[in-house]
Amino acid sequence: MSALIGWWVKNPIAANLLLFGVLAAGFIGFLRLDRELMPTIHTNVVEILVVWPGAAPEDLEEQVITRVERAIMDIDNIDRVSATAEESQALIVIEADPTVDMTRFLNQVKSRVAGIRSFPVEIEPPLVYESIFRNEVMRLVVFGELTERDLKSTAETIRSELLKLPGINLVELSGSRPDEFVIELSTAQMLKYGISFNEIALAIARSSINLSAGMVKTPSGGLQLRTENLANKKEDFLNIVVRNTELGGVIRVGDMATVVDGFVDELHLSIMQGKPAIQIKIMSAETTDVIDVSRRVNDWLAERKQRPQTKFKSGSAVNLATLDQGPVEIAVWWDSADIYKSRMTTIENSALSGLILVFAVLMLTLRFTVAVWVTVGIASSYMGTFALLPYMDVSINVLSTFAFLLVIGIIVDDAIVVGESIHTQTYKNAAAGADCVTRGVTLVAKPVVFSVATTMLAFLPWLFITGADAQVTRQIALVIIFALCFSLLDAFFILPAHLRKLKLISNGNVLHRFQERVRDGLVMLSHRHYRRCLEFVTLRPYLSISVFIALFVLCVGFLTSGLLQFSLAPEIESDQVTLVLNLESNVSDLQVNQIAEVVENSIDVLLNEKNGDPIQSPGVDQPTSGSAKIESWYLGLADNTLTALLKLPLIEARKISAEQLSQQWRSIIGHPPGVKKVQVFHRKNQEPALSYTISHPDPELISAAALAFKTMLAGYRDVYNIADTLDSNQQELSFSLKPAAYQLDLSISEITRQVRHAFYGEEVQRLVRNGEDVRVMVRLPRSERSSFSSLRNFRLQLADGREIPLSAVANFGYTSAIKRVERQNRQRTATVTAELYSADRRAIAQALNSGPIAAWQESYPGVTLGEVGEAEGEKRFFVEILSLYGIALFLMYALIAIAFQSYTLPLLVLVAIPFGFVGAVIGHLLFGVPMALFSYFGIGAAAGVVINDNLVLMHAVLQLRTAGESARTAMIEGAVSRFRPVLLTSVTTFVGLIPMISETSVQAQFLKPAVLSLAFGVLFALLVTLALVPALYVAGSSLRGRNRTSAHTAFDAQEVAIK
């Protein structure tokens, strides 16, 4: 090692070329990196969507879900199977083991589903696909006083134009109904012509086709034969011939029906600021540059504005009015590039400020040349990392950029230790030169190498976490590991070459004299004050150890008792407030409209309150007033859920917080009739705080158990908005056959088929329009299928062509029907959710587990209760990370034990890691920030700094022990001699993070947990290195001495007895 370092010291040209190569490679790598807000997350989930038009949830459960469950039950690596059935469709979600090969797993599931032959014939082909969480890059809203058809046509045109822009591959429309052709048959006209429903449907299916008929081979070449008779317009369907008359005439569809080119028959609501609206969502692909996409979309909007045929309204919104369409506006609702720029600016400013502060500290304590080249080492470590990131599928995002901020104080540590050692050797030998530099580097090479190695081991577990979390944590871990590798390269090969001509300064300038005073002050601090403290600590080691252990136990108590809260993700205030109203399954269209009116009125109340200005008009070119409380609002209905969005100004310009606004909105909206659950979200994380599943084969027992569980939760003061996923039962009209039906040879299946086709409709064709499948449905008009009397009088067709009313062969009755079925692991399930005002979720969970849940389970034997959501993710995370860190700690121990040939030394080095947790807890308590997943990144980073300090300290102590010093003397002298580098590594780390700690913007809150853990973990661990490690070392040496003395005494006594 000494020879290798010496070669680089004596060959500065090689060192300079290495530095230039790293910088150049890093610059090229940086240009290749994509920019995105967050990385695209691939989940270990496969979803199966089965559509059975008009089917009831219980039929879907019995004939679809249970068959899929049986088909896939023996596939390996399945963690959980959950399913949901609602009217007309079922969704089966299969969660695989995080380590599984998803491509192979997906193919296995597809093969099993394709092999099911007992599905009902009416279902559509099942869709089997891997679930991928894609980030929303940008959202536009198209709104205006247009018809639904014109508005959708405009939105589709805009989508087509956006997809032509480079970098945009996926654009979705939200808030529009699917197109549908409906051929509405008149019962009177069919009776007049004596034509049945089936005859018309069959005529349409047979006539409206495009079909190839082969090829005719002629001497001059082949001719393709093809008929093109596909109806795709209203007139085409009306002109289809159903029957020829005996007199040579024809009966067409238009003689008995009207054709409506419209939309799926469902209640529709999508408005922005009182006008019909459609949302256009630009989604991320595998590689998406959010800055580039945002720029291109905004350029496109500006170009649309300049088109000659386009007129414009005064104001900020773009008007795409044409002669045949009314005015339509486009507003940018969401642009992730704005958040990306804001967060990146916060991180970059904090990193730059931290770098300046670190450089200032180095300038005060080290020579100018040393400080400069140590700082250059940070840049070379960063650029080397940039060179490797494109090959590891890491982009420039909030997480990876934050990792660069986090690692500033870590990568500078080894350079400080090496530079300080060279500086010390120069002064000690009163000379400079290659040999002196080589000696200085070699003296600390061993602890530096092993400190970097153990720090990398501290971050390796984050690379092996499974599931979606791994795709987040690996971004940070890879950046830190690569930066550490290049920092080691710089410390051993680049930095020493530039310090080989470091000279002694006898009478320097003002800066040098000031540095001398700082150096003398540190010497006095270490030799006088620290030495006294160290003598006290080593004289009473057990007292010092007890104090540290007590602090550790106290901090663990803070976390486990709920005094310090924990959440996987930091709770960050959102840029919008979301109101979600889950409607009852039996709610009528009239009730939905009334609920929507209540929501609109509540928004008007919020807009007109004293602490908010009137609503501003959003747009692309002219920003809205920052003084407004709400910039714009949107209201939409989908899947029996009414969702309202309030877009807020930037947090710096808000008069009230999003939390205050959400509380106001909740009190105004109340609980309207027909609404099952009311939720108002003001944070990024919209998962309920408490979420439990209740499973049992008996649906009635599930219902009773869920009600009792909700009653139990209601007894806690901080718990509110308690709800479950069980729908209230809806009345269902059922019919059974009369004896006359059997006499007429009518089966229940034939009657059901005819009723279904008439009232729900029969699909006779599918068209393709703008990339969307458009169903062609044949059914009765709404006026003939909207009452019970129309059902009773519906005329069934007999085999001989006669028709009779349905009431003649069927009895009618009302029964209770379930509108939603949930299953988990092949059992019926209900989910109970609740929100918390301020209490820690774990504290409530512990209170429930201490007794109430056991009593509840005794009342409902056989019912299975499980925690899901955040609680389940937290439990799984801790089990996995603790096991991985157990392996990492053993590898650290083995590495240090082999290097220093000792079983006990690694324990002294690694003992500081748990105490980094103490510092993290103290930091979170001081700033009132809950612990989060990122907090453990900070603790891991702090562990790297502390291990470095402990290795440097113990390396000096062992050298003194080899020279013959006693344990206590060696520890005191070694700690005093290494006080300066240990102090510098900790102080530079803390100082580099001060800008981020003091940052108050909402963008910084996402990263605060990790910053606080690292900063205060390092500060507290400094005390561990300077006080606890010496106490443990002296205590251990004392115990070994006593054991030897006891052994010798026993041996002497035994020898005397023998004599």
pLDDT value at residue 508: 61
pLDDT value at residue 223: 77
Residues in the chain: 1059
CA–CA distance from 343 to each of 378, 1006, 1010 (Å)?
22, 9, 15
Topology at the third CATH level for domain 41-133: Alpha-Beta Plaits (3.30.70)
Q: Is 77 exposed, middle or buried (0-12, 13-18, 19+ CB in 10 A)?
A: middle
Buried b (16+ CB within 10 A) or exposed e, 842-861: bbbbeebeeeebeebeeebe
C-alpha 154/C-alpha 164 separation (Å) is: 16
pLDDT value at residue 296: 92
Q: Mapping DSSP to helix (H, G, I), strand (E, B) and coil, where does residue 623 land? A: coil
C-alpha 69/C-alpha 83 separation (Å) is: 9
pLDDT value at residue 140: 93
User: Which amino acid would we find at residue 70?
Assistant: R
DSSP code for 617: P
Joined tokens for residue 216: 């005719």
CATH superfamily placement of domain 517-572+869-1053: Multidrug efflux transporter AcrB transmembrane domain (1.20.1640.10)
C-alpha 526/C-alpha 996 separation (Å) is: 30
- Strands (DSSP E) found in 170-249: 170-174, 179-185, 210-218, 221-228, 241-244
Q: What is the CATH number of domain 1-32+366-502?
A: 1.20.1640.10
Contact (Cβ atoms closer than 8 angstroms) between residue 236 and residue 208? yes
Buried b (16+ CB within 10 A) or exposed e, 184-220: bbbbeebeeeebbbebbbebbbebbeeeeeeeeeeee
Neighbours of 536 (CB within 10 A): 12
pLDDT value at residue 43: 78
C-alpha 1024/C-alpha 1040 separation (Å) is: 22
Domain boundaries defined on the chain = 1-32+366-502, 41-133, 179-210+229-265+730-817, 517-572+869-1053, 588-683
What is the reported pTM? 0.77
C-alpha 874/C-alpha 841 separation (Å) is: 11
Q: Which residues of the chain have pLDDT under 70?
A: 1, 307-326, 409, 427-432, 467-469, 502-509, 562, 567-571, 609-628, 651-654, 684-686, 727-730, 838-841, 869-871, 873, 1001-1004, 1041-1059
Q: Mapping DSSP to helix (H, G, I), strand (E, B) and coil, where does residue 987 land? A: helix
Q: Helix axis angle, 967-977 relative to 979-998, nearest 10°? A: 50
pLDDT value at residue 1049: 43
Contact (Cβ atoms closer than 8 angstroms) between residue 978 and residue 956? yes
The β-bridge partners of 94 are 46, 81
The radius of gyration of the chain's CA atoms, rounded to the nearest angstrom, is 37
> Phi first, then psi: what are they for 189, rounded to 5°?
-70, -35
Task: Spell out the residues 6+ positions from residue 927 whose beta carbon is closer than 8 angstroms to its own.
Answer: 997, 1008, 1012
- Nearest one of 697, 655, 658 to 680, comparing CA atoms: 658
- Strands (DSSP E) found in 275-351: 275-283, 318-319, 329-335
> With the CA atoms of 747, 750, 754 and 757 taken in that order, what torsion angle do they form, in degrees rounded to the nearest 10?
140
Q: Do domains 1-32+366-502 and 517-572+869-1053 have the same CATH topology?
A: yes
pLDDT value at residue 870: 65
C-alpha 971/C-alpha 535 separation (Å) is: 10
Neighbours of 430 (CB within 10 A): 8
Q: What is the CATH number of domain 179-210+229-265+730-817?
A: 3.30.2090.10
- Nearest one of 104, 958, 10 to 501, comparing CA atoms: 10
